[in-house]
Structure 1
Amino acid sequence: MEKSRNLFRSFRRSQQYICPQCFRQNTRKPSSLLRQQQRRHQSSQPVDDPAFKSILDKPPILMRSGRKHKPIGLAILAAIPITAFFLGCWQVKRLEWKSELIARFEDRLVREPLPLPHNIDPEAIKDFDYRRVVARGKYRHDKEMLIGPRIHDGNDGYLVITPLERIDNAGRTSTVLVCRGWIPKAKAKQSERQPGLPTGEVQIEGLLREPWKKNIFTPANSPESNTWHFPDVAQMAAHVGSQAVWVEETMKPNLLESYRREEAGIPIGRPPEVNLRNNHVQYIFTWFSLSAATTLMLWMVVRKPPGGRGFGVGRGVRESREW
């Protein structure tokens, strides 16, 4: 009996043990990914097709890249330096004209003030532009006009325009427009600046100026509501019934005096100097530099063929249309 048991145990040890779970996994069907890989491997490859051709089998095409430039392109490129050169020459003439004009105005500033005539021809004012004049009369504060907004040292405000009524020895009355200067926005109302409203006869000294030219971006004035954005001398003169004469009151530049006037509401007059801008030297440099740069570009384009690696050297390009 014991011998039979030992034989049975030896028989069981000789058998290989297999886990049931592993057995189920090994007998499971291949996954979908594995099946796709198998199908892809079993399918035919492109190289197996006798009619297959790669890009290396395509015959190369020799193309010319050194074609001539189009005339219209060269004409447009040549027009730029020519135009810039003529604009530079025009700015040279403008510089001469502006320098002569400033010199003429500065010569008028150094002369003694001229008594302002009782009656003035508006057509003759251009010959006396920037001429220093003196006048006596009485301010008509009831007809005051404010032009604004105007900026002075970064502050918002207005220009005060007050008619000056004058009476000659014969008792005849004439009125001119006087630009007294700038006041801050907080002093726009006359009740806020009583010291700036002189009464009685006063004597002023200023510059006789030609009427200003309006900017296209400046809004139109509204005389009905006494709203003024631009000093239209003829329109303002017709509004208050004065001559179309514009005088800008002047004062010597003084920082402390300007602060005192601003605080008291007294208009700050302009300094007796020419304030014309003269930027023509910068314009000359800009236009001539542009002309020289575009001329160099034109020379490089003409000397170098399209697509070439060097001056006067053409080259071919091999390419395939099927790439």
Structure 2
Amino acid sequence: MTANRGKRRFLLALCSFLALLFGGLGIWQIERLAWKLALIERVEARVSAPPGPAPAPEAWRSITQERDEYRHVAVRGTFDYASETLVDALTERGPGYWVLTPLRTATGTILVNRGFVPREADSPADRAASQQTGEVTVTGLLRMAEPDGRFLRPNDPRQDRWFSRDVGAIAKARGLGPVAPFFIDADAGSSPGQLPVGGMTVVRFRNAHLVYALTWFALAALSLVGLALVLRSREDGR
């Protein structure tokens, strides 16, 4: 009798814990769903808007991901092709590199992701046709720097191996001086040559939070059913 009571108490505690755990995870996924829907709406509105001026240096410190990322911006300056950086990329076109080129403007330096090149076209000669001399106007999407790396692969400035678009580290390695805390993903067709390929910013976000929420709530319901069965067995055992 004592063993049965101990077992029922354990099952009651377990079912109660699982119901609370799964219910909490379901609520968290609902909150994530609301966040994801707001993100999608915000990004869609920004990428389809006409380009506005890029933030000036006096506004760089106040830039935030929520308020500024994916804004469609325009900036005018001169490219410093000698200081380009290739950043490892895996895209719908396959593996390759993002070509990050400093743009020297009248007010400061901004790194521009001019687009994608495949691994076999990593030589500057392969994209020589796209190099524009003199002042140019660049339009694209404002993106936040990536100082935390990508897929846990740290950048290696000494070996000139870059896996994330960490503008601060790139600026330091290239001796660029102060740069904007963001970079610009250039629009499609921004380069006169075939390479780099611009306009490849991923602006479609996977949204499976509702499915996850329903799964967690279903597991919570099953835990409650288990709790009810344990309580019923205790009453029957009286």
TM-score above 0.5, yes or no: yes
Q: Structure 2: which amino acid aligns with 1:75? A: A
CA contact (8 A) 2:47 2:72 kept: yes
What TM-score do you get using the length of structure 2 for normalisation?
A: 0.82
* Structure 1, unpaired ranges of 5+: 1-63, 168-172, 253-259, 306-310, 315-323
How do 1:242-261 residues align onto structure 2 when only pairs under 5 Å count? 242-251=179-188
Q: Secondary structure at the match of 1:291?
A: helix
> Which of the residues 199, 210, 216 maps onto 1:281?
210
In the alignment, is the contact (CA less than 8 A) between 1:218 and 1:229 conserved in 2? no
Structure 2 residue 233 is matched with structure 1 residue 294:
no
Verify the 8 A CA contact 2:46 2:72 in the aligned structure 1.
yes
Cα RMSD over matched residues?
A: 2.9
The residue aligned with 1:88 is 26
Structure 2 letter corresponding to 1:138: T
TM-score by length of 1: 0.62
Deviates more, 1:216-225 or 1:73-82: 216-225
Greater CA drift, 269-278 or 78-87: 269-278
Deviation for aligned residue 1:159? 1.0
Does residue 133 (structure 1) correspond to residue 59 (structure 2)? The answer is: no
Q: Identify the residue that residue 144 of structure 2 maps to in structure 1.
A: 210
Q: Which secondary structure state, in structure 2, belongs to the residue aligned with residue 67 of structure 1?
A: helix
For residue 272 of structure 1, report the CA deviation from its aligned partner.
Answer: 6.8
Choose 1 or 2 for highest CA Rg.
Answer: 1
**Contact residue 77 and residue 103 of structure 2 kept, 8 A:** yes
1:177 is the counterpart of 2:111:
yes
Q: CA 1:312–1:118 in structure 2 vs 1: closer, same or farther (change >3 Å)?
A: closer
**Percent identity of equivalent pairs:** 31
- Quote the offset at 1:217 in angstroms: 4.2
What SS does the aligned partner of 2:105 have?
Answer: strand
**Amino acid corresponding to residue 295 of structure 1 in structure 2:** L
Q: Is the CA contact (8 Å cut-off) linking 1:251 and 1:272 kept in structure 2? A: no
> Match for 1:192 among 123, 126, 151?
126
* 8 Å CA contact retained: 2:149, 2:155: no
**Count, aligned residues:** 230
Task: Note closer, same or farther for the CA distance 1:131–1:94 as it changes in structure 2 (3 Å cut).
Answer: same
Residues 244 and 279 of structure 1, relative CA distance in 2, 3 Å threshold: same
- 2:102 aligned with 1:163: yes
- Deviation, 1:124, is 2.5
After superposition, the C-alpha distances for 1:34-93 in whole angstroms (9 at most, x for unaligned) are xxxxxxxxxxxxxxxxxxxxxxxxxxxxxx799333423421232011111011112212
Q: Give ranges in structure 2 of 5+ residues lacking alignment.
A: none
Q: Does 1:222 align with 2:146?
A: no
Match of 1:13 in 2: none
Is the CA contact (8 Å cut-off) linking 1:237 and 1:243 kept in structure 2?
no
Aligned to 1:121: 59
Cα displacement (A) at 1:268: 1.5
Give 1:302 deviation, angstroms.
3.5
- After superposition, the Cα gap between the structure-2 partners of 1:216 and 1:133, relative to the gap in structure 1 and judged at 3 Å, is closer
